[in-house]
Amino acid sequence: MRHYSILEYARFRWFKASLALCAIAAAAYLWHDPSPKPYGGTALGYTLGTIGALLIVWLLWFGVRKRRYDASGNLQGWLSAHVYLGTALVFIVTLHTGFELGWNVHTLAYVLMLLVVASGFYGVFAYMRVPRVMTANLGEHTLDSLLLRIGDVDREMREKALSLPDGLFALVDRSVKGTKVGGSLGRLLSGTDPHCPTALAVHEWPRAASHLRDETAAKLSKDVYGLLLQKDQLLGRARRDLRYQAILQLWLYAHVPLAMMLLAALVAHIVSVFIYW
Amino acid sequence: MKLLVVQRAPRPDGGSTQTKRTVSADWVRVGRNASCEVHLADPRIALEQGMIVNRGGPVYLEGEAGSTDITRKTVRSVRLKPGEPIEIGPYEIKVLDTPAGFDAAISVDLVRPLEAAPGPATRTAPRSLSALGLSKRATAWAGLVAILLGFLVIPAGRVLHLPWSGNDRSWDPGPVILAHQQVGSKCSACHEVAFQHVKDRACLECHPKTGQHVGPELKPATLFEGVRCASCHKDHKGARPMYRDSDAFCVDCHRDIHSRSAQAKVENVSDFTAGHPPFALTMADGTTVRRVRPDRAHPAKDDPHLAFPHQKHLDPNGVKSPTRGRVKLECANCHHPDASRRMFEPIAFEKDCQECHRLEIEPAVTGRQVPHGKPADAVAMIDEFYATLALRGVPDSFQKAFGVPGEGLLRRVGEPTVAERESALRLASRKAHEVAVDLVEVRVCKTCHEVKRDAEPKGSPNTLAWTVTPVRTSNRWMPGAKFDHQAHSRTPCADCHDVSKSKKSSDMAMPTIESCRECHGGSKAQTGKVTSSCLLCHGFHDARHPWDPDFRPRNPAPRVAQAEPRAR
């Protein structure tokens, strides 16, 4: 069965609805001839502002709706509408401003709205792209099974390396004890560890093992080197997986708090405008 | 291929269990998947890790982990030989002696059970954003509270009379107009009550003389119910004044003005191009004012009681000047822009006429001129002139003036006799009389003015007096329209005011609406025309009638923000 993304939900129902909303707003904006100039306080300005505010409240409600399993409508439809109507919001609110911006709470609300939508766009992009590369990266494995395999490689490598000279064993031992997957925000997001002991061991091994003359030891060293390479490759996959997970989560750390700040700025905007009516 | 698989697994008690299975397949699959012929039930093994095939003996092939595509490049290929065990993850596979009826036999041993694998150090590092201590909820609440405090609660302190006084500059939607900048950030000067529209009275505190659109007889309060100053005048939109300049607002009433108000005296207007009546001229008529709407058949006349033929003065061959020969006159020789440069100063005789129209008493005798103004002053001056000549005139002047030989009475030798005195007085009086009548009624005043000699009062014959009809010129025949002559200075005067054929000063040369329409279009943009809204020529506020006759300033204190006194 073909997979339909939320963007295509119900044959682009919400895309069409949003397009229609934008078209109506644009037509009204062009038709309306406010004097002396277009701004949020004209009849059309108030109308667009009301639509924008209701849309924002509805879009925020998605955060509540997605946690409810007994609610009506399916979540896929809600998300599709959330994405498309959120995009239309930019258009509606921009017309509401009448392109009148300044250093004030009104423009603060506008900029926050733009940031929320921009982070949402990034989220849509991430959800469209990341799960696919995530599956390709993990293959049949899960992160846990990768970690188990790394542990397994560690044990085998350590056992074999016990028969190697001190210098070589130290490289393996550091790799076994010191390798970390994850750790800091930078490591999670880059999917790399610049100070990874395993990568260091892989890098050092050919030079360190070059003086081995004993045939058995050389064969053993080759085995261990193979295991190190295997572990390095497994680590790469595990770290990439954490990176993808972090990418899938990170935009929400901007989207959700910015949305709440937008709600606050919106309340301040509306109340202040009507105090000084 | 027929393969015997012996699988051994350690038991918790230290022993081991052993199972034997016979598998028959071309490719014996090895993997975690239960459908694999060699089932390695361990999470460290891929779902389909590899396969064993018969190539003259068992060979273990391993593709890329997870790949089910057997055509893919093999990454590991090991021929299984007795005594050479291979490792697949934690399992060890050995080749056993081939029993009869089988192609091969293998044993599968779990050499590194899951529990025995050392716990990797990797488990202890944070592996997700939430494990790093990031929290969406905490950030969201912090941001929400910070913005509500900083942009709503604190700024609202002063205006809502809360216990704190915050700065609400962040609420200012934009700069106020230049004239309001001295009010500055004193919001309450205009926004008197929170959650209420700015009232007209706030505007009238500083602008009490602003006029209504119509006089009280038309009941403006009813006509403009619900209309506030701020309906048209928007502030916080930048330093330049912003007011409603939309014909729709005017045309809403003026399209059918008589249905709005039965007393309206104007005609319907919808657009300058498509629906505007011909221009009306306002003329002073004695003590009253009349408005006339002229057309080609009935051109307007306005008698200023002055003889002035523009045609003669604008003769292309010039006019005769007493001092400079023939001079070609231009409009600008007499019509001088006023200080505003939009309109013109009234014509003044001394400045604009006298260079040619000299008020000389008697050119043959003297270059002296009488003052312009009252005839009595001129008569007095003429009397004095000839009396002086009769008393002190040298023989030459005396003879030129009086036409008889002689000289001034005081110049003669000896005391003048009574008869000589009376004769000289008579001579002077008669001459003055002649010259005055000639000057006023023939030679000078009559040239331009309507002059009527007054009846001689009884008892004093030969007393001369004239009445000159006052001249009534106007340079505002269209007081309801704003016109900027300077803005039109590139257009020749005659394009709008063609006076080259005018022989009488009662001819009016005011432009018709057609001549304006040659350049000006209506409120809709039109190629080659100046888009012209109502407010381009007309104003809204009629300064004669106050906006609110009942308005009394409430706040004697200045609304302008007080500057800090400068420290000495």
| DSSP-derived secondary structure for B343-376 | SBPPP-HHHHTTTTS--BS-TTT---BPPSS-HH
Q: Residue B43: which of A145, A246, A276 has the nearest Cβ?
A: A145
Do you know the residue count of chain B?
A: 568
Cis peptide before B395 (omega within 30 of 0): no
pLDDT value for A2: 64
Q: Which has the higher per-residue pLDDT, A217 or A248?
A: A248
Measuring CA to CA, how many Å separate B58 from each of B31, B81, B98, B108?
A: 17, 8, 11, 14
Q: Kindly tell me the sign of the dihedral angle through the C-alpha atoms of B511, B514, B518, B520.
A: positive
Contacts of A185 in chain B (CB under 8 A): 129, 132, 134
Residue B33 has pLDDT above 80, yes or no: no
Distance from CA of B143 to the nearest CA of A (A): 5
Contacts of A145 in chain B (CB under 8 A): 43-44
Same domain, yes or no, for A106 and A150? no
Contacts of B64 in chain A (CB under 8 A): 139
Q: What is the mean pLDDT of residues B26-46?
A: 82
Q: Find, among B181, B158, B497, the residue nearest to B314 by Cα.
A: B497
- Share above pLDDT 90 across residues of chain A, in percent, rounded to a whole number: 49
Distance from CA of A19 to the nearest CA of B (A): 30
pLDDT value for A96: 95
Asked if the C-beta of B134 comes within 8 angstroms of chain A's C-beta atoms, the answer is yes
A85 HSE (CA, 13 A, CB side)? 21
Q: Residue B195: which of A152, A183, A277 has the nearest Cβ?
A: A277
Q: Residue A139: which of B65, B87, B146 has the nearest Cβ?
A: B65
Asked if B125 and A183 come within 8 Å (Cβ–Cβ), the reply is: yes
pLDDT value for B567: 46
Q: Give the pLDDT band (50/70/90) at residue B285.
A: confident
Residue B121 has pLDDT above 70, yes or no: no
Q: Kindly tell me the sign of the dihedral angle through the C-alpha atoms of B186, B192, B196, B197.
A: negative
pTM, rounded to two decimals: 0.72
pLDDT digits (tens, 9 = 90+) for B343-377: 999 999 999 999 999 999 988 888 899 999 999 99
Local structure of residue B180 (DSSP, 8 states): G
Spatial contact of B547 and B541, defined as CB atoms under 8 Å apart? yes
Asked if A152 and B112 come within 8 Å (Cβ–Cβ), the reply is: yes
Q: Give the pLDDT band (50/70/90) at residue B120.
A: low
* Nearest residue on chain B to A273, alpha-carbon basis: B171
**Distance, CA of B396 to chain centre:** 74
- Is residue A180 in some structural domain? yes
Contacts of B187 in chain A (CB under 8 A): 276
Q: Residue B195: which of A139, A185, A274 has the nearest Cβ?
A: A274
Same domain, yes or no, for A36 and A108? yes
A-B C-beta contacts closer than 8 Å: 199
pLDDT value for B116: 47
Same domain, yes or no, for A103 and A232? no
Spatial contact of B334 and B493, defined as CB atoms under 8 Å apart? no
* Nearest residue on chain B to A150, alpha-carbon basis: B120
- Which of residues 182 through 221 in chain B touch A, CB cutoff 8 A? 187, 191, 194-198
- Is residue A262 in some structural domain? yes
pLDDT value for B469: 92
CB neighbours of B556 closer than 8 A, spacing ≥ 6?
A: none
SS (H, E, C) B64-133: CCCCCCCCCCCCEEEECECCECEEECCEEEEEECCCCCCCEEEEEEECCCHHHCCCCHHHHCCCCCCCCC
Same domain, yes or no, for A121 and A257? yes
Asked if the C-beta of B159 comes within 8 angstroms of chain A's C-beta atoms, the answer is yes
- Is residue A77 in some structural domain? yes
Q: Give the pLDDT band (50/70/90) at residue A20.
A: very high
pLDDT value for A260: 95
Residue B118 has pLDDT above 70, yes or no: no
pLDDT digits (tens, 9 = 90+) for B162-208: 898 888 888 988 888 998 988 877 888 888 888 999 988 889 988 88
Mean pLDDT of the residues in chain B: 86
- Is residue A105 in some structural domain? yes
CB neighbours of B117 closer than 8 A, spacing ≥ 6?
A: A148, A151, A152, A154, A155, B90
Contacts of A271 in chain B (CB under 8 A): 152, 156
Asked if the C-beta of B561 comes within 8 angstroms of chain A's C-beta atoms, the answer is no
Q: Residue B126: which of A33, A182, A271 has the nearest Cβ?
A: A182
Same domain, yes or no, for A131 and A25? yes
Mutate to test the interface with A, among B69, B110, B115, B152 (most CBs of A within 10 A): B152
What is the domain extent for residue A58?
A: 6-139+251-275
Q: Residue B132: which of A102, A145, A185 has the nearest Cβ?
A: A185
B54 HSE (CA, 13 A, CB side)? 11
Three-state DSSP state, B24: strand
Q: Which amino acid is at B296?
A: R
Residue A48 has pLDDT above 90, yes or no: yes
Return d(Cα A81, Cα A104) in angstroms, integer: 31
Residue B159: exposure state from Cβ atoms within 10 A (0-12, 13-18, ≥19) = buried
Q: What is the mean pLDDT of residues B64-79?
A: 61
pLDDT value for B17: 84
Q: What is the mean pLDDT of residues B276-289?
A: 85
Asked if B170 and A261 come within 8 Å (Cβ–Cβ), the reply is: no
β-strands B50-54, B58-62: how paired?
antiparallel
Exposure string of B266-285, with b = 16+ CB inside 10 Å and e = fewer, is: eebbbbbbeebeebbbbbee
- Is residue A1 in some structural domain? no
- Is residue A36 in some structural domain? yes
Same domain, yes or no, for A99 and A165? no
Residue B568 has pLDDT above 50, yes or no: no
Top-ranked range on mean pLDDT: pick from B31-40, B294-303, B430-439: B430-439
Contacts of A184 in chain B (CB under 8 A): 126, 132
Return d(Cα B307, Cα B529) in angstroms, integer: 39
* Nearest residue on chain B to A247, alpha-carbon basis: B129
Return d(Cα A194, Cα A147) in angstroms, integer: 19
The yes or no reply on domain B2-115 and CATH 2.60.200.20 is: yes
Asked if A155 and B143 come within 8 Å (Cβ–Cβ), the reply is: no
Q: Which of A158-162, B136-140, B158-162 shows the lowest per-residue confidence on average (mean pLDDT)?
A: A158-162
Q: Find, among A162, A134, A136, the residue nearest to A224 by Cα.
A: A162
Return d(Cα A17, Cα B530) in angstroms, integer: 42
Q: Which amino acid is at B169?
A: R
Measuring CA to CA, how many Å separate B479 from each of A124, B272, B290, B296, B474?
A: 66, 18, 12, 22, 11
Same domain, yes or no, for A118 and A168? no
Residue A173: its H or E element: helix A166-178
> Given 3-state DSSP classes, what are the helix, strand and coil percentages for chain A, each rounded to the nearest 5?
80, 0, 20
pLDDT digits (tens, 9 = 90+) for B324-339: 899 999 999 999 999 9
CB neighbours of B47 closer than 8 A, spacing ≥ 6?
A: A140, B31, B32, B33, B66
* Nearest residue on chain A to B241, alpha-carbon basis: A36
Q: Residue A177: which of B43, B121, B187 has the nearest Cβ?
A: B121
Asked if A35 and B196 come within 8 Å (Cβ–Cβ), the reply is: no
pLDDT value for B316: 92
Return d(Cα B23, Cα B35) in angstroms, integer: 12
Spatial contact of A80 and A10, defined as CB atoms under 8 Å apart? yes
Determine phi and psi for B100, rounding to 5 degrees: -65, 140
Residue B260: its H or E element: helix B257-260
Three-state DSSP state, B53: strand
Local structure of residue B341 (DSSP, 8 states): S
pLDDT value for B48: 78
* Nearest residue on chain A to B87, alpha-carbon basis: A156
Residue B470: its H or E element: none
Q: What is the mean pLDDT of residues A11-20?
A: 91
ipTM of the modeled complex? 0.88
- Is residue A258 in some structural domain? yes
pLDDT value for B73: 54
Measuring CA to CA, how many Å separate B187 from each of A36, B171, B191, B194, B378?
A: 22, 10, 6, 10, 66
Spatial contact of B242 and B233, defined as CB atoms under 8 Å apart? yes
Residue A99: exposure state from Cβ atoms within 10 A (0-12, 13-18, ≥19) = exposed
Asked if the C-beta of B226 comes within 8 angstroms of chain A's C-beta atoms, the answer is no
Return d(Cα A38, Cα B79) in angstroms, integer: 81
Q: How many domains does chain A have?
A: 2
Same domain, yes or no, for A221 and A257? no
Helices (H) and strands (E) in chain B, counts: 17, 20
Contacts of A41 in chain B (CB under 8 A): 234
* Nearest residue on chain A to B154, alpha-carbon basis: A268
pLDDT digits (tens, 9 = 90+) for B404-429: 898 898 888 888 899 989 999 999 99
Asked if B125 and A180 come within 8 Å (Cβ–Cβ), the reply is: yes
Q: Domain residues of chain B, as ranges?
A: 2-115, 172-245+542-568, 246-303+476-541, 348-468
Q: What is the mean pLDDT of residues B544-560?
A: 73
